[in-house]
A and B are shown apart, each in its own frame.
Chain A
Amino acid sequence: MTGPLSPASTRNAESVWPPEVWRAPKKTVLDPRDRGGPAQPLLSVTGLVKHFKVGGSPFGEGTVVRAVDGVDFDLIKGETLGIVGESGCGKSTTARLLMQLMPPDAGRLVFDGEELGGALSLTEYRRQVQMVFQDSYASLNPRLTIEDSIAFGPQVHGLPARQAIARAHDLLDRVGLEPARFAGRFPHELSGGQRQRINIARALAMNPRLVILDEAVSALDKSVEAQVLNLLMDLKQEFNLTYIFISHDLNVVRFMVDRVLVMYLGKVAELGGRDAVFNQPAHPYTAALLASMPSMDPDHRVERPPLTGDPPNPINPPPGCRFHPRCAVAEAVCSVKEPEMAATGTDRAGARHAAACLMRAAGSGHSRAPAVAVPA
């Protein structure tokens, strides 16, 4: 690790690529890549579905894992959207679908007003959306030096080698790794935190607008994690980025995000502003998830586990509300009627807050449901 994470003071003009964005970092400056204007979501996701066929499972041939089972959300320009939920709920599958690393079974992606596969080509979309994974080692080619790893993507997209290397050095500097010391090293010569900085630099080399961070800090030691979180926040400002931040660490999510999307068994259970979701969770699952966090207070330890049993299997999701077998406030209707997302209000920042729980849906038949629907 090298010194402070301050912005580079000197930059080689030649390395600037593409020039307009490199020099237009501040939020107040309009992003020249912007097409639909600030109110246009950066990404609109509708009806996203991915089922995996698994052969030879204990459930027999031809069973399907409903990994992502109808996910809708809008990603606001410049926000950080957190995605949380238990292991296997479909967070990474959602991320990989958004990255187009595999084809969805159904669903539309509209990026800044342009439909993917329509006005927007896959190549162009792929350049604007980048991803950083948890496993910093597996994501890097062990036989490429650090500078070559970072320069690789831009070169593939047509940037001359010399400029691509110069840009790699700029980015190394920007993620807190002195180019003179690190550019020529190989991945195995770096610590986990350093490798993760390289992966971040590599994602930024493509000059993306959206970066998906899938457990990107989860493998790091706490003292190093804090450095990388600071770095991610700085880079977001400087490069006008929008983040999707996936993590199982709810404390880190609360710290990093503007809005949170809670997933349960391939579906969205709750979506809302950070404070609304963390302070007034609208879905019983979210409430239980939050109550499972260690207390950090030796005088008020957690006394009873909020949920019993392990997360269920997405092979045979329960009928009705998928959460009903574990839900403390479930009623008879919950095992027959599938809840839709129902608005529960807006927070101070104007973000909509909604949850897929019959308790929140007017006229659902749940005894705690409101008499009239909350306006969206």
Chain B
Amino acid sequence: MTPMIDIRNLSVTFTGRGKAVRAVDDVSLSVAPGEVVALLGESGSGKSVTLRSLLRLHPKNRSRMEGTIRVDGEDVLALSPRALADYRGRKVSMIFQDPGLAMDPVYTVGRQIVETIRRHESVSTAEAEARALALFKKVSIPAPERRLAAYPSSMSGGMRQRAMIALALACNPKVLLADEPTTALDATVQIQILLLLRDLQRELGLSVIFVTHDIGVAVEVADRVAVMYAGRIVEEGKVADVVRTPRHPYTRGLLAARVEHAVPGSRLETIPGAPPDLAELPAGCAFRERCVVAEPRCAAERPAFVQRSPTRGDACLLTG
């Protein structure tokens, strides 16, 4: 099957002041129609930059993108400004941790959905309003008529998140990009939003990239998971496979350090050290200095991502 999203050898470098920073380095990832892939990694590992690349949201004069991105057959990096404006929202939309990034505080939520629909499609206001109401019902907002007339600031965190999802789905996109949309929410609300997204994704056949730093969330929503470290994908596979038999030492360490299965009060296994500074990456494998099984060759050679089986791959010199 042709993938809905096909990222090949994507690198993103921020230039600007100071040292150039390669935030995403030679990343390849494809997502099938109707598939959910979680992008898992620690702070600064390049998850958001990867996601934002799909919408070409980086500052033009201070960033450089290399590689190719195809979405539904279209070459995203070659889109003209007009085509890009149409592509954003219509083919691909995005939801964020902070709905403030997606919504304008001075307009009612309903007005914003109506405007979004009318920007992309030639429909009457009445028709767009009817669609906005249907969307609010779809994301299970209680009293949807009343809530459409509300301003974002007057809604609770969970309601705002639902409204943002409604806005993102307004033009029937094929791809939904989710950047930690539940991270700031209470566990009780997070699970509601995760299950809502899961249901909508199934019903609408969306392809989803879901960025998270929480393995539990990835397990709850994703079919496949790609683990990022220092701008690279270091392991990728089906969620169950990666969680049960992690191969890359970083993934192994991350799973071993979890408190979920540890005996209360016992010592936790830990990955020593902290993620590296992207501006001063060591030569060889970026994980080397924290890796318990590193060998001398790990300092000499930068491990490439290798597909070990049709559904599984990693970037470690020792797992082959």
A336: B residues at CB distance < 8 A: none
* Chain A proximity of B191: nearest CB distance (Å): 5
* Chain B proximity of A29: nearest CB distance (Å): 20
A223 is contacted by which of B42, B156, B188 (Cβ under 8 Å)? B42
- Total contacts A-B at CB 8 Å: 131
A233: B residues at CB distance < 8 A: 265, 267
Q: Report Cα–Cα, A65/B156, bound state, in Å.
A: 16
* Chain A proximity of B4: nearest CB distance (Å): 22
User: Can you name the residue of chain A whose Cβ is closest to the Cβ of B217?
Assistant: A294
Binary CB contact string for chain B from 164 to 205 against chain A (1 if under 8 A, 0 otherwise):
000000000000000000000011111110110000000000
* Chain B proximity of A262: nearest CB distance (Å): 12
**B43 contacts chain A at the CB level, 8 A cutoff:** yes
* Chain A proximity of B273: nearest CB distance (Å): 5
B219 engages A298 (CB within 8 Å) = yes
A301 engages B270 (CB within 8 Å) = no
B42 engages A221 (CB within 8 Å) = yes
**A157 contacts chain B at the CB level, 8 A cutoff:** no
Contacts known (A274-B264, A305-B191); A311 close to B259, Cβ less than 8 A: no
A224 engages B274 (CB within 8 Å) = yes
Binary CB contact string for chain B from 263 to 279 against chain A (1 if under 8 A, 0 otherwise):
01101111111110000
Q: Report Cα–Cα, A4/B272, bound state, in Å.
A: 8
Q: Which stretch from A94-102, A131-139, A147-155, A244-252 is at the chain B interface?
A: A244-252
B257 is contacted by which of A223, A248, A288, A310 (Cβ under 8 Å)? A223
B215: A residues at CB distance < 8 A: 222, 296
Q: Report Cα–Cα, A222/B272, bound state, in Å.
A: 12
B270 engages A254 (CB within 8 Å) = no
Give A288-305 interface residues, CB cut-off 8 Å to B. Answer: 288-289, 292-299, 301-305
A230 engages B220 (CB within 8 Å) = no
Q: Report Cα–Cα, A143/B272, bound state, in Å.
A: 29
B189: A residues at CB distance < 8 A: 310-311
B191 engages A292 (CB within 8 Å) = yes
Contacts known (A221-B213, A296-B215, A298-B219); A86 close to B186, Cβ less than 8 A: yes
Give B245-295 interface residues, CB cut-off 8 Å to A. Answer: 253-254, 257-260, 262, 264-265, 267-275, 290
B78: A residues at CB distance < 8 A: none
**A307 contacts chain B at the CB level, 8 A cutoff:** yes
**B34 contacts chain A at the CB level, 8 A cutoff:** no
Give A303-361 interface residues, CB cut-off 8 Å to B. Answer: 303-311
**A256 contacts chain B at the CB level, 8 A cutoff:** yes
User: Can you name the residue of chain B whose Cβ is closest to the Cβ of A278?
Assistant: B264
A306 is contacted by which of B188, B243, B269, B270 (Cβ under 8 Å)? B188
**B239 contacts chain A at the CB level, 8 A cutoff:** yes
Contacts known (A293-B187, A293-B216); A252 close to B259, Cβ less than 8 A: yes
Contacts known (A233-B265, A301-B219); A292 close to B188, Cβ less than 8 A: yes
Q: Report Cα–Cα, A22/B192, bound state, in Å.
A: 49
B216 engages A294 (CB within 8 Å) = yes
Q: Report Cα–Cα, A329/B269, bound state, in Å.
A: 41
**B33 contacts chain A at the CB level, 8 A cutoff:** no
* Chain B proximity of A304: nearest CB distance (Å): 7
B188 engages A302 (CB within 8 Å) = no
Of B188, B219, B270, most buried by chain A (CB within 10 Å of CB) is B188
**B159 contacts chain A at the CB level, 8 A cutoff:** yes
A193: B residues at CB distance < 8 A: 274
A309 engages B158 (CB within 8 Å) = yes
Q: Report Cα–Cα, A251/B260, bound state, in Å.
A: 5
User: Can you name the residue of chain B whose Cβ is closest to the Cβ of A255?
Assistant: B259
Q: Report Cα–Cα, A87/B270, bound state, in Å.
A: 29
Q: Report Cα–Cα, A306/B253, bound state, in Å.
A: 32
User: Can you name the residue of chain A whose Cβ is closest to the Cβ of B44?
Assistant: A221
**B301 contacts chain A at the CB level, 8 A cutoff:** no
A192: B residues at CB distance < 8 A: 43
Q: Report Cα–Cα, A313/B260, bound state, in Å.
A: 31
A295 engages B274 (CB within 8 Å) = no
Q: Report Cα–Cα, A233/B257, bound state, in Å.
A: 15
**B240 contacts chain A at the CB level, 8 A cutoff:** yes
**B3 contacts chain A at the CB level, 8 A cutoff:** no
B274 engages A87 (CB within 8 Å) = no
**A194 contacts chain B at the CB level, 8 A cutoff:** yes
Q: Report Cα–Cα, A222/B154, bound state, in Å.
A: 33
A298 engages B240 (CB within 8 Å) = yes
B214 engages A294 (CB within 8 Å) = yes
Contacts known (A193-B274, A309-B158); A301 close to B220, Cβ less than 8 A: yes
B214 engages A223 (CB within 8 Å) = no
Contacts known (A221-B42, A223-B271, A274-B264); A295 close to B188, Cβ less than 8 A: no
B275 is contacted by which of A86, A221, A227, A298 (Cβ under 8 Å)? A221
**B157 contacts chain A at the CB level, 8 A cutoff:** yes
User: Can you name the residue of chain A whose Cβ is closest to the Cβ of B40?
Assistant: A222
A301: B residues at CB distance < 8 A: 219-220
Q: Report Cα–Cα, A245/B157, bound state, in Å.
A: 25
B187 engages A223 (CB within 8 Å) = no
A310 engages B219 (CB within 8 Å) = no
Q: Report Cα–Cα, A1/B274, bound state, in Å.
A: 6
Q: B interface vs A, CB < 8 Å?
A: 42-43, 142, 154, 156-159, 186-192, 194-195, 213-217, 219-220, 239-240, 243, 253-254, 257-260, 262, 264-265, 267-275, 290
User: Can you pick out 22 interface pairs between chain A and chain B where the beta carbons lie within 8 Å of each other?
Assistant: A1-B272, A4-B272, A87-B186, A222-B254, A223-B271, A226-B269, A229-B259, A229-B268, A248-B187, A257-B264, A288-B188, A292-B187, A293-B191, A294-B191, A294-B194, A297-B219, A298-B239, A299-B240, A308-B192, A310-B156, A310-B189, A311-B186
- Which 6 residue pairs of A and B lie closest in terms of their CB atoms, listed nearest first? A294-B216, A226-B257, A255-B259, A221-B42, A298-B240, A223-B271
